[in-house]
Structure 1
């Protein structure tokens, strides 16, 4: 453990206006380009390529640092057969410029690489969005990540059946913020109790309000566009996005892999 701490102390510190990516070993790894829907519609920018290349090692997390401000989290791909919102966040990754961010924005477009590779909703036969209260599970790690990084706003993106054509924003109770996001995105706000063990129910216990975004499962590429613009609206409403954000990804270096067991690999950054 002392050796690991020394390596961490030796790593260069990061400043404002950069994007850093990290691979977390949360028990799900896979070649997400084996997913037939994803491979057909996948964007191919410098940051989305990082996700394709390194999801075989674990869950890739991008961190856009813009100086003081709120910590905001966007996630997709908890269920491996819900691909349209994954593509939306991959598109967002390539569009965001660190200089457009206020505070810190975390983007996890492929939470469950193994599920995406298998195009499966389940992990070892179990719905991962019912196990966030089970220590060591994939979504348990995800909630712990949000807690440890002091996330204030969280948009968890899915594709569902029986969802309104416009898409839905699911919350535990009505709020002005959700109503404003609905007006900005065109999604329908729905108050619906979160199932036991779901990300939303467990995060709420710890004081994190999660909005579950759902596009129709059969939405196709139009679902990608709707989810993408809803994610941008979410960032603007949380105060995490400056006006006139650039759609041209910067270049640079960036990665540190942080498995559950202590292990460090060289850090790089991608601007």
Structure 2
């Protein structure tokens, strides 16, 4: 991999400015501008806690550059505890949005503007209430090789077991805004379902601080995990989670695999049972790979994504 070339430095005055949603932290020394976001979806809670903890921690340790932390990108969706806002729109599908549009479109425009002003971007997620996800760091397979290489290095800083590069062509995402602005960007996925998972918060907080060490913005040695499972999948919509393993029928999902488990081609992933009709349908892994996605809501309808597993294509 090539060496990281930091952007041109701008003088920064030491300050700490915040409101209820966004915290801006600047060190005395000039350096890169990093944007960290959580709450693109209103039912992904651990990233919001991680963002709040980073906003509280970074003023005491940031030695160079500036960090902007958005704790809740779409407070309307958070208020309803749903993936979408009250307008029914998924903010992660409508970027760059419009300040004159609906409420989600306006919030999409605000985060898109912050992305375009950043030098590096990290978007933190979980599987929400619907899915559970094995810890991973992902990025778009940017057509600019120099940006793609930086994204690979950024992803490695989070010390998660899976790194996933996917199709760069989807539109409407926070990462597509970063792609178009040539801002190196990664996203994080870990956890989901009901209940609060402290390891998600700790992984994200530690990972962001480690990334800032890598960028020379926080003192200390950069950590590296053992060699992760690393997959780059150039197929169209390869990163579209909601399209993975569609259910063949309505019913109750009973999965037979665990997150992180390596499955064989043809192994049973789970079974759909309809208690009304008595019908049962089994779902099988089409290729060998690591299970990274499982549906957490057991009641499913035909076409719902049941889960997914990685494989080398």
TM-score, normalised to structure 2, is 0.56
For 1:3, the equivalent position in structure 2 comes to none
1:130 paired with 2:106, answer no
1:202 paired with 2:171, answer no
8 Å CA contact retained: 2:47, 2:125 = yes
1:170 paired with 2:139, answer yes
For 1:6, the equivalent position in structure 2 comes to none
Aligned-residue RMSD, C-alpha: 2.5
Q: Equivalent residues in 2 for 1:103-182 (5 A)?
A: 103-123=65-85, 124-136=87-99, 137=105, 138-147=107-116, 150-160=117-127, 165-173=134-142, 175-182=148-155
For 1:238, the equivalent position in structure 2 comes to 215
Alignment CA distance shift 1:122-1:238 (3 Å) = same
For 1:62, the equivalent position in structure 2 comes to 23
Q: How far has the Cα of 1:90 moved from its partner?
A: 0.8
1:190 paired with 2:164, answer yes
- Tell me the distance in 2 between the aligned counterparts of 1:167 and 1:146: 21
For 1:101, the equivalent position in structure 2 comes to 63
- Higher helix residue share: 1
Q: SS in structure 1 opposite 2:30? A: coil
Q: Which digits, 9 at most, give the CA deviation of each residue in 1:3-26, with x for residues without a partner?
A: xxxxxxxxxxx973321114xxxx
Q: Which digits, 9 at most, give the CA deviation of each residue in 1:190-234, with x for residues without a partner?
A: 111253211111221122222111112147111111111111112
TM-score, normalised to structure 1, is 0.63
Q: SS in structure 1 opposite 2:134? A: coil
- Tell me the distance in 2 between the aligned counterparts of 1:163 and 1:234: 25
Alignment CA distance shift 1:217-1:118 (3 Å) = same
Of the two, which has the highest radius of gyration? 2
- Higher strand residue share: 2
Q: SS in structure 2 opposite 1:242? A: coil
8 Å CA contact retained: 2:151, 2:185 = no
Q: SS in structure 1 opposite 2:84? A: coil
1:213 paired with 2:188, answer yes
- Tell me the distance in 2 between the aligned counterparts of 1:99 and 1:224: 18
**Residue 75 of structure 1 is aligned with which of 37, 40, 47?**
37
Q: How far has the Cα of 1:163 moved from its partner?
A: 6.6
Structure 2: 5+ residue stretches without partners: 1-10, 100-104, 222-313
For 1:224, the equivalent position in structure 2 comes to 201
1:16 paired with 2:16, answer no
- Tell me the distance in 2 between the aligned counterparts of 1:140 and 1:132: 7
Q: May I ask how many residue pairs the two structures share in their alignment?
A: 193
Q: How far has the Cα of 1:183 moved from its partner?
A: 4.0
Alignment CA distance shift 1:208-1:163 (3 Å) = farther
8 Å CA contact retained: 2:96, 2:112 = no
